[in-house]
């Protein structure tokens, strides 16, 4: 008897786990940015649905693009590379780092353009597409004078932000990066994925926490301020979903640990000393470009 599609193709199962891990964030992003605005009369029903429709469109278009690339351009006769592609997951993450009012339909061609560019870059050239997209989007929106992380509901009411709100994600921020709770649920799903580099979030968070303790004792910041800075910055989302992106991280264990330590230590400084939260994505972008260097840090096995 022929095996089912998922049993026969383990990579597809892994990629579906990737997408499953961000579904809680997508659903919550609709509630926060769409449903609340509609429920309180600041947005009509159909525009509010964009926060559910656009990620579906992005994932679907990603598979269309992958099909065209492999079957037409690469002349690959089977669909193996298409169904095993991590591009739909990566592109959905690009959507989640957009601001709620970032002219979301305009971001779709930008995501696809980046796909095309990265497809034709030498495979030895590692780059974190999500971090690159976030940086380019930040520059573009600032040039157009449209940068704003508040949604329609937040623009019209005063939102009381306490620690509980920050943990749930009911605060001003990008579409999918504000919720610590749903990011952690995503992490729990990713832990079942053997290709997910779980050592990156573990080492990153430990090194980040150590630097935060030092900051607490040697600066004027108190524990609550450090906690709010951490939750407001999108650091948890970036640590779980962006920094571990396999195609832009070291393959050598020692290099992975150095990569994670640098990300955790420098992120703590960026988040608490500068409050320039885009700096987290700039840091990930730089570290991804240094991946070939990190891969040289291989300890000899006795």
Q: Does residue 184 sit within a domain?
A: no
Between 62 and 2, where is the model more confident?
62
Number of structural domains in the chain: 2
Is residue 88 over pLDDT 70? Answer: yes
Q: Are residues 265 and 119 in the same domain?
A: no
Look at residue 219 in the predicted model and tell me its pLDDT: 92
Q: Does residue 227 sit within a domain?
A: yes
Is residue 7 over pLDDT 60? Answer: no
Phi and psi based region of residue 169 (left: phi greater than 0; alpha: psi -120 to 50; beta: remaining)? left
The 10 Å Cβ neighbour count of residue 44 is 10
User: Quick check: helix, strand or coil at residue 137?
Assistant: helix
Q: Are residues 212 and 77 in the same domain?
A: no
Residue ending a domain, among 125, 141, 176, is 176
**Among 246, 291, 284, 257, residue whose Cα is nearest residue 131:** 284
What range does the domain containing 225 cover? 197-296
Look at residue 210 in the predicted model and tell me its pLDDT: 97
Least confident residue range of 18-32, 81-95, 255-269: 81-95
Q: Are residues 152 and 239 in the same domain?
A: no
Q: Does residue 121 sit within a domain?
A: yes
Q: Are residues 35 and 97 in the same domain?
A: yes
Q: Are residues 150 and 104 in the same domain?
A: yes
User: What are the distances in angstroms from CA 231 to CA 167, 170, 178, 279, 280?
Assistant: 7, 11, 7, 15, 13
Q: Are residues 128 and 63 in the same domain?
A: yes
Q: Are residues 226 and 265 in the same domain?
A: yes
Q: Does residue 182 sit within a domain?
A: no
Whether residue 150 contacts residue 101, with contact meaning beta carbons closer than 8 Å, is answered with yes
Q: Does residue 234 sit within a domain?
A: yes
Q: Does residue 187 sit within a domain?
A: no
Q: Are residues 17 and 143 in the same domain?
A: yes
pTM over 0.85: yes
Cβ burial, residue 163 (10 Å; 0-12/13-18/19+): exposed
Q: Are residues 251 and 150 in the same domain?
A: no
CA angle 282-50-189, nearest 5°? 60
191-210 tens-digit pLDDT: 988 889 999 999 999 999 99
Question: Is the dihedral angle over the CA atoms 147, 56, 181, 291 positive or is it negative?
Answer: negative
DSSP secondary structure letters along 3-62 = PPHHHH-HHHHHHHHHHHHHHHHHHHHHIIIIIHHHHTTSS-HHHHTHHHHHHHHHHHHH
Is residue 299 over pLDDT 70? Answer: no
Residue ending a domain, among 113, 145, 176, is 176
Alpha-carbon torsion, ordered 40, 149, 179, 226, to 10 deg: -120
Q: Are residues 43 and 147 in the same domain?
A: yes
Is residue 212 over pLDDT 90? Answer: yes
Least confident residue range of 26-40, 52-66, 69-83, 151-165: 69-83
Q: Does residue 284 sit within a domain?
A: yes
* Exposure string over 190-212, b if 16+ CB within 10 A, otherwise e: beebeebbeebbebbbebbeebb
């Amino acid at each position: 008897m022929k095996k089912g599609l998922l049993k026969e193709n383990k990579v597809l199962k892994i990629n579906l786990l990737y997408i499953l891990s961000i579904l809680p964030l997508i659903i919550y992003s609709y509630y926060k940015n769409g449903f609340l605005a509609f429920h309180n009369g600041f947005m009509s029903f159909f525009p509010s649905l964009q926060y559910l429709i656009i990620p579906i469109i992005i994932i679907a278009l990603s598979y269309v693009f992958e099909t065209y690339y492999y079957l037409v351009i690469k002349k690959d006769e089977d669909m193996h590379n298409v169904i095993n592609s991590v591009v739909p997951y990566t592109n959905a993450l690009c959507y989640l780092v957009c601001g709620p009012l970032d002219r979301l339909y305009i971001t779709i061609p930008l995501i696809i353009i980046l796909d095309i560019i990265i497809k034709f870059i030498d495979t030895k050239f590692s780059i974190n597409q999500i971090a690159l997209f976030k940086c380019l989007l930040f520059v573009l929106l600032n040039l157009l004078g449209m940068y704003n992380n508040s949604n329609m509901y937040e623009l019209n009411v005063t939102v009381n932000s306490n620690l509980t709100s920050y943990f749930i994600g009911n605060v001003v921020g990008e579409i999918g990066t504000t919720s610590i709770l749903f990011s952690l649920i995503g992490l729990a799903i990713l832990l079942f994925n053997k290709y997910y580099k779980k050592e990156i979030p573990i080492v990153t968070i430990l090194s980040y926490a150590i630097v935060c303790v030092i900051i607490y004792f040697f600066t004027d910041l108190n524990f609550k301020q450090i906690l709010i800075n951490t939750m407001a910055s999108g650091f948890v989302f970036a640590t779980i979903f962006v920094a571990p992106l396999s195609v832009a991280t070291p393959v050598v264990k020692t290099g992975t640990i150095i990569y994670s330590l640098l990300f955790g230590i420098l992120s703590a400084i960026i988040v608490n000393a500068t409050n320039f939260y885009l700096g987290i994505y700039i840091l990930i972008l730089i570290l991804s470009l240094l991946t070939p260097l990190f891969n040289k840090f291989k300890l000899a096995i006795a």
